[in-house]
Amino acid sequence: MNSPALAPRTAAALNGKVRVLIVDDSVVIRHLLREALGSDPGIEVVGAEANGVAALAQIPVLKPDLVTLDIEMPQMDGLETLRRIRKDFPRLRTLMFSTLTTRGAAATFEALSLGADDYVAKAANGGELDKSLANLRAELLPKIRQFFALPGQAQAKPEPSRTPAQRPGPRLRPQVLAIGVSTGGPNALATLIPMLPASFPLPVVVVQHMPPTFTRLLAERLDAAGPLAVREAEDQMEVAPGRVIIARGDHHLRLRKAERRVVCVLDQGPPENSCRPAADVLFRSAAEVYSGGVLSLVLTGMGYDGRKGVEAVKAAGGYSIVQDRATSVVWGMPSAVAEAGLADRVLPLPEIAPELVRLAQG
């Protein structure tokens, strides 16, 4: 599931507002989206279409910065529309709307592989409109804002120079690789994980911000893509070399010693950083179990989940790598670690796997 283009697209909102085109065959969803987006003064809905054919005709006229795109539509579905957008309007941001089903998850992964920037999981039909509207505002507005510089919005500081970030290697031989990732994560992981050889000596544990059905499908896809076995986390699953464990959606993943083994412990404790699973939870538990033997990696993602966890990793004597701005879809999570002075290396995505192999081999 490799991304068509490694470097993220950039876009600048015109006149201080993000111009959004809504594409969905449901009249109710189009209305809800108008209401949700209209509540943000930094966003302007410039049009709403019922299918991909009409949307493609309107894009040159309306000149949107971003398109919200339903997957299942008549005449031309969301995936085919996305293919046309990536070909004819390659700089246009796209957000997919997906159902929380296996079929919806599979289509979403296909969309991400075709170049969609992110997705929003929509509730099943029949829910309360007020609740659906509130959920849309809470999930959709931050996802749109993450791609644009808007007035009154805090901006990430410039990326630190790579020279001072190139610190000496870990003091101790790493014993585990812990990864935190969010927006852009499926494609980043699809690039990174298959590059790790079958002989990679560390267990790998991953927090990707996704719902339950999506994390299972992500594990299955990564398992088929490379030499390492990739599994969705189960309670008491052993953490062992040769295995990549993906945190289960809506469950925190903690590591715990059990006699001579290290196992996964799943729970549905309160979200941290509005996330469950949260990278902070995983990183803290890894530092408790492995002390200075943790190799932490923070990849592309919105927000700052992972920063406090990396603090714990560093305090225990571990080592930290973050993905650089140029190859991140959103330089939020990595920048939070880098700006706090916690990153030992800041690397482009293609250089991370070789560095992990080098560090893992001591």
What are the catalytic residues? Answer: 182, 209, 305
Q: What is the rounded distance in angstroms from the CA atom of residue 102 to the CA atom of residue 216? A: 9
Q: If 0-12 CB within 10 Å is exposed, 13-18 middle and 19+ buried, where does residue 182 land?
A: buried
CA of residue 233 relative to chain centroid, distance: 18
Residue 40's H or E segment, with its range, is none
DSSP bridge partners of 252? 267
Contact predicate 189/218, CB 8 Å:
yes
Kindly compute the dihedral angle of the four CA atoms of residues 198, 199, 201, 206, in this order, to the nearest 10 degrees: -10
Q: Residue type at 270?
A: P
List phi, psi (to 5°) of 259. 60, -115
Q: What is the rounded distance in angstroms from the CA atom of residue 108 to the CA atom of residue 199? A: 32
